[in-house]
Amino acid sequence: MSEKKEASNYSEILFDLAVWEEAWKNQSTRSKQMSFSSDNEAFERWAKEYHQQSFTEQGKQRSERIIGWIENQGVEFEGLSILDIGAASGVFTIPFAEKGATVTAVEPSELFHSLMKESIPPSLQSSIDFVLERFEEISIQDKGWEKKYDFAFASMCPAMSDWETIEQAISTARKYVYISTMAGPKEHTLFDELKKVLGVYPPYIAGDMGYIQQLLYLKNYSYTTLITKETNNIEMPVEEVVNKLQEWLSMHELPTDEGSLAVAEKYIRDTYKDGVVKFSRGGKFGKILIQLDQPNMKGMPTKEK
């Protein structure tokens, strides 16, 4: 095959909607199989830790940076109606309300729902409604949500893992849709070590950002994007790591049978004899702001505030 013909074939694939939709569907199926949400105890521990970390000073600063980036694209929150999809314990719902928005918080977890209610100041309670349902199972027509909200917002929401749910979110909004997601595989140096020790290498999961961008482009949406590399250096006592091993191995698609747990624990105790495990975790994260009322700005690059 000539180079020109090969290039032509690649171009056809690059701009073929069906190819991208099918490829993302296949990956998202694998990604959903990696969730630990079926383990109620593990989810409860994770949810409480996530809530606690989200409302520390560092957690609040992270939320403020994301909101600041959105504001830097010309979004003013005062008076907006917002659908917060996968609201968790209110890490964005609450600051949106503080900025003068009215918010409908969609969150299927009763635990997160309870934690959110505990965190909302009395002065903001009238600005926030709760929907205890999975967004992907909601009928937008039955709810009367078709173009009901100014802004649909989904930050690192597991429901945003295929085009159908992206399009469902878009259908609820009049002005803006914000989606953030992984823009590459998750990075975790400790589990890179454990993969070698256990001799297990889970399938490569590239993240959803590339699929979302390409499909938005091919479907002629206007959007702005930002991709950042974020890494945290962590020190944790050996005993705490050992206690979390089964949960963490499951999250990273590594075996959790008795033998594998024993091998992993022995490696950690032998390697980190000073009693402290040091590792880094993070990855590339993508933000997308779809601007439904500005049709001539497709793919415009942006700067972070």
Dump pLDDT digits (tens) for 114-127: 999 999 999 999 99
Residue 107 sits at φ, ψ, to 5 deg, of -155, 120
Do the domain assignments include residue 277? no
Domain membership of residue 258 (yes or no) is no
| 279 assigned to some structural domain | no
Structure tokens at 184: 């590459």
State pLDDT tens for residues 176-221.
Answer: 999 999 998 889 999 999 999 999 887 777 789 999 999 999 999 9
Domain that holds residue 145: 13-188+203-231+284-301
For position 9, what pLDDT does the model report?
A: 65
Residue of 114, 135, 111 whose CA lies nearest to 37: 111
Q: Is residue 2 part of a domain?
A: no
Q: How many angstroms separate the CA atoms of 281 and 189, rounded?
A: 6
Beta strands in 124-249 (DSSP E): 128-131, 149-155, 173-182, 187-188, 223-237
What is the pTM for the complete model shown?
0.86
H-state helical runs in 254-294: 258-271
Q: Which of 156, 216, 214, 211 is nearest to 182 (CA)?
A: 156
169, 177 contact by CB (below 8 A): yes
Span 95-107, pLDDT tens digits: 999 999 999 999 9
Query: What 8-state DSSP symbol labels residue 161?
Result: S
Amino acid at 237: P
Report the alpha-carbon distance of residue 142 to residue 172 in Å, rounded.
Answer: 12
Residue 42 lies in a domain: yes
Does the residue 88 lie in any domain? yes
User: CA separation (Å) from 170 to 109, 174, 291, 294?
Assistant: 23, 8, 10, 14
Is 278 a domain residue? no
Whether residue 72 is predicted with pLDDT greater than 90 in this model: the reply is: yes
Structural domain contains residue 4: no
302/300 Cα distance (integer angstroms): 7
Q: Is 60 exceeded by the pLDDT of residue 73?
A: yes
pLDDT tens, position by position, 250-282: 878 889 999 999 999 999 999 999 999 999 999
Total domains in the chain come to 1
**CATH number of the domain where residue 223 is located:** 3.40.50.150
* pLDDT (tens digit per residue) in 45-57: 888 989 999 999 9
